[in-house]
Amino acid sequence: MEFIRLDIPDVVEIRPRRFADDRGWFAETFKRSAFEAEGLDPDFVQDNRSLSRAAGTVRGLHFQLPPFAQAKLVSVARGAILDVAVDIRRSSQTFGRHVAARLDAENGALLYVPEGFAHGFCTLEPDTEVIYRVSRPYSAAHERAVFWADPALAIDWPVEVANAVVSEKDAEAPKLAATPELF
């Protein structure tokens, strides 16, 4: 598998090698030794899966506070997403900046999002299924959200706010500047 450091190098796009034959293809999508060699947290403790029926569905920007801060390994089993990670580490030189990657079932790419980042995605196709592994268990008490369309983040989402399918929680999330608890 190939590890590609994005403009914020803590966030890594991963491109597994695909072994194609007449039946289709096979790929290793996670290997502890490869993650350790790359310096990425390999200790995932929970797998998640979500289905979003409409293109233009936005889930995020979410994170969990310590001691339940999560590293995430995101992949797409069906459809396509624009996956986004926002640096919310107050001491970081890239605080408030983001990186994005297209993940889809065809390219088979994954995105590694470390602790200290808010994560979200917008679906690009109907019936998109996202599978992701997290390094700490879910804790509702530690979960926080940042408004996905915060102009200060300047994220070039493929959907207008008025047309996006979002949860009430995400629609009402505070902007980054108004989010009291960050890293």
Helix (H, G, I), strand (E, B) or coil at 170: helix
Residue with Cβ nearer ligand T46 (39 or 50): 50
Residue with Cβ nearer ligand T46 (72 or 98): 72
Q: Which of 98, 112, 132, 138 is catalytic?
A: 132
Q: Which amino acid is at 118?
A: A
Minimum distance, C-beta of residue 61 to ligand T46, in the bound complex (Å): 8
**Does 62 interact with ligand T46 (rule: CB under 6 A)?**
yes
For residue 23 the two structure tokens come to 């039946």
For residue 62 the two structure tokens come to 């979410």
116 within 8 A of 26, measured Cβ to Cβ: no
In whole angstroms, what is the distance from residue 115 CA to residue 136 CA?
10
Angle at the Cα of 137 (from 150 to 125), degrees rounded to 5? 50
**Does 119 interact with ligand T46 (rule: CB under 6 A)?**
yes
62 is catalytic: yes
The residue within the footprint of ligand T46, chosen from 60, 96, 108, 114 (CB under 6 A), is 60
For residue 84 the two structure tokens come to 């986004």
98 is catalytic: no
Of the listed pieces 85-93, 113-121, 152-160, 175-183, which binds ligand T46 according to CB under 6 A?
Answer: 113-121
Residue with the CB atom nearest ligand T46 in the bound state: 138
Q: Which amino acid is at 152?
A: A
Catalytic residues: 62, 132
